[in-house]
């Protein structure tokens, strides 16, 4: 994750610990390494953490180990987080509790 304008943005995991260039453009933020765009996100969103799941996919590099893939519970939590909070029913909570068992 890279901090910019009070938000945290994801970049591909293989760039962990490396310096990247940040460009704040009209409506979007670009992240570059060696003059190549490695990530791009919308700028000025309501979200304080802006992530792209694909940034956590891939194989180990000679310098960085790939993140562990999400398990069943992690995938379900991502689905829930992507949903609209106002439309969640108590049945959803019950289904989530079933996943935990």
Domain assignments of the chain as residue spans, ordered by start: 1-67, 70-101
Listed as ranges, residues in the chain with pLDDT below 70 are 85-88
pLDDT of residue 72: 85
Residues 48, 4: Cα–Cα separation, whole Å: 10
Look at the pTM and tell me if it is higher than 0.85: no
- Taking each helix axis as running N to C, give the angle between helix 72-82 and helix 90-100, from 0 to 180 degrees, rounded to the nearest 10: 160
How many CA atoms lie less than 13 Å away from 40 in the CB half-sphere?
6
Residues 30, 23: Cα–Cα separation, whole Å: 5
pLDDT of residue 79: 84
């Amino acid at each position: 994750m890279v901090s910019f304008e009070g938000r945290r943005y994801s970049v591909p995991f293989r760039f962990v610990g490396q310096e990247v260039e940040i460009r704040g453009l009209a409506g979007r933020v670009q992240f570059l390494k060696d003059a190549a765009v490695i990530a791009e996100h919308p700028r000025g969103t309501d979200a304080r953490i802006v992530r792209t799941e694909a940034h956590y996919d891939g194989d180990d590099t000679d310098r960085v180990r790939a993140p562990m893939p999400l398990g069943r519970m992690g995938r379900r939590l991502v689905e829930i987080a992507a949903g609209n909070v106002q439309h969640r029913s108590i049945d959803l909570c019950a289904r989530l509790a079933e996943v935990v068992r």
